[in-house]
């Protein structure tokens, strides 16, 4: 079914979202603070609005994707939101999502907050995921339409949940990046071919380790950190040796030191017999 959809914010991500909706045959109205960014979309069949209010008027479903939440508020400030479903795909904090949900509800609209787990080039392609939270009614009404942009997953009625899970996924990613950069520095210090190390050793190892995370999650939920693998004392000694090896190679272990500090803290409490999952209690 073809819907009337408005997209406000035509940066790299907003433009990709609008383009995917146009390609799926929806009637798309677009607005951007810098008007020229609408031109390529107009060439593909979009209607351009000259103000945010005009754009909101045109769409039952209103997608906003701008820099940050203060910009979302500025964009929607002078528009009449009554009866609309506002889908905010701007990245932000859970508290910002909660405040935005209240503000939008106070203006007579339904609200979905979204966390985009994709880069613009992935939109409308397999692998792209958008997490949604807040109004179940709005999600159910527009699920098939939203799925045009990326797999659409509703994660609960708490408006901040999509933002929180988005941040949690980015956190996992940054942790992996930190480890990979340290590994790259160490391997490079020994003049071993880095691409070969990464493809044939590091990536398969990380995939095997990633598969264990679900077991860790179960241990954390159960509060049971007993281990038959390697306990914290073994990891404490291993980390001590790792950091010493980095220094001997002339490589800074700076991204590993915060993890070492938490391991040291936990073992100093006499919990060296536990597994690494117990570190979550320190956090």
Task: Please list, in sequence order, all residues whose beta carbon lies within 8 angstroms of the beta carbon of residue 83, skipping any fewer than 6 positions away.
Answer: 60, 108, 109
Residue closer to ligand FVH (CB basis): 67 or 181: 67
Q: Could you identify the residue written with the tokens 């320190």?
A: 282
Q: How far is CA 259 from CA 123, 142, 152, 241, in A?
A: 35, 43, 34, 14
Rounded least distance, CB 117 to ligand FVH, Å: 7
Residue closer to ligand FVH (CB basis): 12 or 42: 12
Rounded least distance, CB 37 to ligand FVH, Å: 5
Rounded least distance, CB 159 to ligand FVH, Å: 16
Give CA–CA dist 42/50, Å, rounded: 13
Rounded least distance, CB 10 to ligand FVH, Å: 5
Q: How far is CA 91 from CA 70, 94, 106, 208, in A?
A: 11, 10, 22, 31
Residue closer to ligand FVH (CB basis): 29 or 90: 90
User: And the tokens for 253?
Assistant: 């272990």
196: which DSSP letter? H
Rounded least distance, CB 272 to ligand FVH, Å: 40
Give CA–CA dist 55/6, Å, rounded: 6
Residue closer to ligand FVH (CB basis): 73 or 236: 73
Residue with smallest beta-carbon separation from ligand FVH: 11
Residue closer to ligand FVH (CB basis): 35 or 238: 35
Residues that bind ligand FVH (CB under 6 A): 9-14, 32-34, 37, 65-68, 71, 74-75, 90-91, 116, 119-120
């Amino acid at each position: 079914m073809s819907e009337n959809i408005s997209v406000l914010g035509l940066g790299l991500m907003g433009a990709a979202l609008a383009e995917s909706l146009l390609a799926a045959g929806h009637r798309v109205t677009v607005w951007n603070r810098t008007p020229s960014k609408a031109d390529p979309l107009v060439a593909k069949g979009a209607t351009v609005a000259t103000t945010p209010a005009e754009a909101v008027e045109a769409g039952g479903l209103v997608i906003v994707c701008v820099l940050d939440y203060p910009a979302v508020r500025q964009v929607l400030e002078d528009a009449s939101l009554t009866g609309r479903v506002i889908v905010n795909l701007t990245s932000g904090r859970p508290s910002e999502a909660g405040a935005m949900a209240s503000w939008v509800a106070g203006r007579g609209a339904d609200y979905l907050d979204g966390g985009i787990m994709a880069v613009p080039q992935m939109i409308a392609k397999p692998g792209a995921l958008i997490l949604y939270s807040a109004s179940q009614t709005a999600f159910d009404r527009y699920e098939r339409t939203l799925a045009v942009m990326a797999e659409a997953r509703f994660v609960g009625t708490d408006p901040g949940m999509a933002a929180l899970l988005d941040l949690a996924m980015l956190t996992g990613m940054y942790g992996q990046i930190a480890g990979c950069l340290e590994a790259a520095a160490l391997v490079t210090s020994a003049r071993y071919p880095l691409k070969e190390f990464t493809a044939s050793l590091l990536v398969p190892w990380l995939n095997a380790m990633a598969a264990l995370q679900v077991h860790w999650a179960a241990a954390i939920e159960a509060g049971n950190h007993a281990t038959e693998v390697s306990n914290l004392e073994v990891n404490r000694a291993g980390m001590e040796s790792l950091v010493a090896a980095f220094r001997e190679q002339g490589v800074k272990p700076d991204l590993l030191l915060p993890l070492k500090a938490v391991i040291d803290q936990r073992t100093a409490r006499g919990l060296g017999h536990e597994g690494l999952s117990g570190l979550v209690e320190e956090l």
